[in-house]
């Protein structure tokens, strides 16, 4: 099946099995490697991206469902070269990552959360961000999201 979609602002067409996970289109066809494969079962969040503004676990979202949609991956989060999304700035400021594998998924989930709730509480974060980090960086992630909310409200944003 021909799949037409826009990835990070670039119109793209791929020939793909309609049931293939969107994750493989992103990684293997579009060659955007920031979106990771972890569990393959919509549990860990490593594969998170935005599809028409919604947070999606792309390992469990088919190519045909993505047809005609706008995809944003970690590579397109800031909206342009030499810019950082407040989430990315806060991640740097806090020094969040350890091995880094889960981090793009967390950042995509966090950026989506801030779009829906610009002033989240720590409880909001604990209830909304269900990604898994095997390195245990969750405390720094919470700190970074709260900082990103401040950066965003101060206009230090994308
Ligand atoms: S790889 Fe998709 S949620 Fe774990
Ligand atoms: S930083 Fe290693 S899995 Fe999260």
pLDDT of residue 93 exceeding 60, the answer is yes
Partners of 72 in beta bridges: 50
Q: Say whether 144 sits in a helix, a strand or coil.
A: helix
Per-chain mean pLDDT for the chain: 96
Q: What is the pLDDT of residues 9-41, one digit of tens each?
A: 999 999 999 999 999 999 999 999 999 999 999
d(CA 96, CA 130): 17
Return the pLDDT at 82: 87
Q: What is the pLDDT of residues 75-91, one digit of tens each?
A: 999 988 889 999 999 99
Which residue's structure tokens are 């088919």?
62
Distance of CA 3 to the CA centre of its chain: 21
DSSP class of residue 38?
Answer: S
State in Å: Cα 155 to ligand 1 middle.
32
pLDDT: is 123 or 158 the higher one?
123
Instruction: Set out the domains of the chain in order of their start, with CATH numbers.
Output: 2-76 (3.10.20.30), 86-154 (1.10.150.120)
* Ligand 2 close to Cβ of residue 97 (< 6 A): yes
The closest of 74, 70, 80, 40 to 57, measured between CA atoms, is: 40
State in Å: Cα 24 to ligand 1 middle.
12
* Ligand 1 close to Cβ of residue 40 (< 6 A): yes
d(CA 126, CA 119): 14
Return the pLDDT at 115: 96
pLDDT of residue 156 exceeding 90, the answer is no
Mutating to test ligand 1, I would choose from 40, 130, 133 the residue with most ligand atoms within 8 A of its C-beta, which is 40
């Amino acid at each position: 099946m021909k799949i037409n979609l826009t990835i990070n602002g670039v119109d793209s067409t791929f020939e793909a099995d309609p049931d293939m996970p969107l994750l493989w289109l992103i990684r293997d066809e579009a060659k955007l490697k920031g979106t990771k494969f972890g569990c393959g079962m919509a549990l860990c969040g490593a594969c998170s991206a935005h599809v028409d503004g919604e947070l999606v676990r792309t390992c469990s979202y088919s190519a045909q469902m993505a047809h005609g949609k706008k995809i944003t991956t970690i590579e397109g989060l800031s909206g342009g070269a030499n810019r950082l999304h407040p989430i990315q700035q806060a991640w740097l400021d806090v020094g969040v990552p350890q091995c880094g594998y889960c981090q793009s998924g967390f950042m995509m989930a966090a950026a989506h959360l801030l779009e829906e709730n610009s002033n989240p509480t720590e409880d909001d974060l604990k209830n909304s961000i269900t990604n898994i980090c095997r390195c245990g960086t969750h405390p720094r992630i919470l700190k970074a999201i709260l900082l990103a909310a401040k950066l965003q409200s101060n206009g230090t944003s994308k």
